[in-house]
Amino acid sequence: MNYAGSFTGPVTPLWQQSNQVAYGFIYLKRGLFMQEKFNYLNISALSLLLIAGVSHAAVSPETRSLDELYQRALKEGNEVTVYAGGDTAGQQDGIKKAFEKRFPGIKLNVIVDYSKFHDARIDNQLVSGTLVPDVVQLQTLQDYPRWKQEGVLLNYKPRGWDKIYPAFRDQDGAWTGVFVDAFSNVVNTKALSEKEWPREAKDYLNPSLKGKIVVTWPNDDDAVLFWFKQVVDQYGWEYVQKFVEQAPQLVRGTQAPADDVESGKAVATFSTDGSLVPDEKAHSRFVLPQNDPFVSWAQRAAIMKGAKHPDAARLYLNWLTDKETQQNTWYMWSVRTDVTPPKGYKPIWEYKNTHPDAFAAFMQDREAVERFRSQMTLYFGEVKGEPSPGWLGLHPREALAH
């Protein structure tokens, strides 16, 4: 989702992140996680940082209230622009509505595109001196250590910094996780009885589901690709071949699978997220596996050092990571230690069949990612279809009409 996430409320929830030393988790065939230390910045990289004059001076967490930051943002220019990873132009409308209701007079421009296009767009804007976003909020987690190393991110620590899980934030404040997203099973409860719900990976090979499954092209979205990587590590490539023989409906973006399951066009998917507290009126439900792995990560956000509206950007990050926002607006797990998940769910770190750091480690090794993507393409074919967010070009400043 990507990924790319929209907030609850009037909007149906769905959609859809550097420390010098980070910890990744690799899924093994036995179903366990093995901890492996990744040194993202080696001695030569640190030397380059010193040569470039990139400052890593300690930054203290924000002490001003949201209202104080709001007043500064009003004086600055009354708007903030966020490039957000996602799947459709209106996917972040819930965020926009909630923010603008809380802070009248501040316009929030949330521009949604696949994270893999937004990061390329940002790189191009940086080298051409045409930077548009104040905040970047993406699923391409590997970009943030690199951007930090390049010195283009503003070190900043929102209020409640000590309440954000340490693994979800950069120690210098270059970036922070803003919400936890997870891709797992979403089923249509009208089309399937509870005993028929697919929960584990092999459940999707049931002949009764042939032609009724919808899934995002795995070679188009890295979070979906990682779902398959974990399954291949456990069950081998034979699983992929059998899954393809199930004739799944292949779509672009991770919003479409949620929409298709809700409408009954398909009965199940594993390539999207969903609310931990199901809507009583909804026909679909988010369901976790008991044994097989599912994908989870903290979506990362950072303020660009060249932001035109840095005070409004600070306001946005503080509001998004604020306890009230995380507790009452976000529909999955929080990045904060003082926000408990809904009844029936454990904190994300307590699940043995997922670990948010695993996806971050996967994303960091781009050579391995591309090798696996190429192999998946041999099974699924080249990605087909128009990009679900639309085509935004080089310098989008407003969300596309929707």
Report which DSSP code applies to 3: -
Q: Is 186 helix (H, G, I), strand (E, B) or coil?
A: strand
Q: How many CB atoms lie within 10 A of CB 265?
A: 15
Residue 214 has φ and ψ, to the nearest 5°, of: -115, 140
What CATH superfamily classification does 21-181+297-346 receive?
A: Periplasmic binding protein-like II (3.40.190.10)
CA neighbor of 351 nearest in space, from 337, 377, 333:
333
Q: Are 143 and 107 in contact, with CB atoms under 8 Å apart?
A: no
Report which DSSP code applies to 60: P
Beta bridge partners of 37: 23
Q: How many CB atoms lie within 10 A of CB 54?
A: 18
Beta bridge partners of 164: 336
Handedness of CA 320, 321, 324, 328 (dihedral sign): positive
Q: How far is CA 187 from CA 143, 197, 252, 257, 275, in A?
A: 33, 6, 19, 10, 12
CA neighbor of 381 nearest in space, from 266, 191, 220, 205:
220
Pairwise CA distance, residues 165 & 96, whole Å: 25
Q: What type of residue sits at position 169?
A: R
Pairwise CA distance, residues 328 & 275, whole Å: 12
Per-residue pLDDT of the chain (402 residues; tens, 9 = 90+): 443 344 333 333 333 333 333 333 333 333 333 333 334 344 444 444 444 444 456 899 999 999 999 999 999 989 999 999 999 999 999 999 999 999 999 999 999 999 999 999 999 999 999 999 999 999 999 999 999 999 999 999 999 999 999 999 999 999 999 999 999 999 999 999 999 999 999 999 999 999 999 999 999 999 999 999 999 999 999 999 999 999 999 999 999 999 999 999 999 999 999 999 989 999 999 999 999 999 999 999 999 999 999 999 999 999 999 999 999 988 999 999 999 999 999 999 999 999 999 999 999 999 999 999 999 999 999 999 999 999 999 999 999 999
Residue 270 has φ and ψ, to the nearest 5°, of: -130, 10
Domain boundaries, the chain: 21-181+297-346, 182-295
Q: Model-level pTM?
A: 0.86
What pLDDT, on the 0 to 100 scale, is given for residue 329?
86
For residues 251, 123, 226, 161, the Cα torsion angle rounded to the nearest 10 degrees is -120
- CA 11-259-270 angle, to 5 degrees, is 110
b/e per residue, 336-354, with b = 16+ CB within 10 A?
A: beebebeeeeeebeebebb
Q: Are 1 and 15 in contact, with CB atoms under 8 Å apart?
A: yes
Q: How many CB atoms lie within 10 A of CB 211?
A: 10
Helix H or strand E encompassing 373:
helix 366-380
Query: Is the CATH code 3.40.50.720 the one for domain 182-295?
Result: no
* Total number of residues shown for the chain: 402
Burial level of 305, CB count in 10 A (0-12/13-18/19+)?
Answer: middle
Domains 21-181+297-346 and 182-295 share a fold: yes
Q: Are 115 and 140 in contact, with CB atoms under 8 Å apart?
A: yes
Helices 356-364 & 366-380 angle (0-180, nearest 10): 90
Beta bridge partners of 214: 249
What pLDDT, on the 0 to 100 scale, is given for residue 56?
54
CA neighbor of 397 nearest in space, from 82, 105, 53, 157:
82
What pLDDT, on the 0 to 100 scale, is given for residue 21?
31
